[in-house]
Amino acid sequence: MPELEIKNVSKTYKKGAVKALDDFLVTLTSGVYGLLGPNGAGKSTLMNIITDNLNAERGEIIYDGENIKRLGKEYRSVLGYMPQQQGLYEDFTLNRFLWYMAALKGLKKKEAKQKITSLLETVNLSSSAHKKLGSFSGGMKQRALIAQALLNDPEILILDEPTAGLDPKERIRIRNFISEIAEDKIVLISTHVVSDIEFIAKEIILLKNGQLVSHDTCGNLIKEIENIVFEVEIEREDLKRFQDNYRLSNLYNEEDKIIVRIVTDNPPENYAAQPVNPTLEDLYLYVFENEK
């Protein structure tokens, strides 16, 4: 079973003025981990340090008992990385791109052919294998990037916003596939689509201002906000006041009323606030939205 230790990692920018990561400490084993945090929380910095694209100022990354700096090429051979930015070779066909990436990863011709054929089917791009990447939609590019990350059957798979731009059917397909392959891999997913990891993540990592806020199973984290998530029926003229004073995770119209879902330690007085079961989205709102 692979093990990845992120030991007291710190990183600053602008000559120390901005702390991207501050003494970050966590250990990962096989399974899916969801990395959640607002923009600027340090998620991209963390992933770039794990993939050895960026050096930490303090701390170290340990893979199966060895510092990744000492492992070098051996460590990179077990890595799969899907960046968020879609920096693809626009004039390459998808097939040429995957063969090129397979060569960079050191795959032999027979193995590369088998993997490319299989992965094209997995990401539902077999019919587009000979089309140029420049003609692809955003969602198709996402799927191409997922495919290249999996070419070397990595033990550590880092996915940055893997389902961005995908339609619901594609998201479900990719989500199920990630869950399926994670039995013997460490899979770290950074995403703003909270629902994509709520039911497949072994654990959730909450990152805020470069610091580890919490790290636990989804179920345990959600328990922390039991009895502070409510649905309230309000008049339309009350909506702005609720938006200004409460964390609204959802609202919907019901005839001439509005039902709002709020996350708060102090439910509104003079309203029939009904407690409801919390979700990971509610937790995200509670941790990362400004206090209200």
State residue 85's pLDDT score.
Answer: 63
> pLDDT digit string (tens) for 235-275?
989 999 999 999 999 999 987 889 999 999 999 998 999 99
% of the chain surpassing 90 pLDDT: 77
pLDDT digits (tens, 9 = 90+) for 126-159: 999 999 999 998 888 988 999 999 999 999 999 9
The rounded distance, in Å, linking the Cα atoms of 140 and 125 is 8
Indicate the pTM of the whole model. 0.91
Per-residue pLDDT, averaged over 209-213, amounts to 96
The rounded percent of the chain whose pLDDT value lies above 70 is: 98
pLDDT bin (cut points 50, 70, 90) of residue 279 is very high
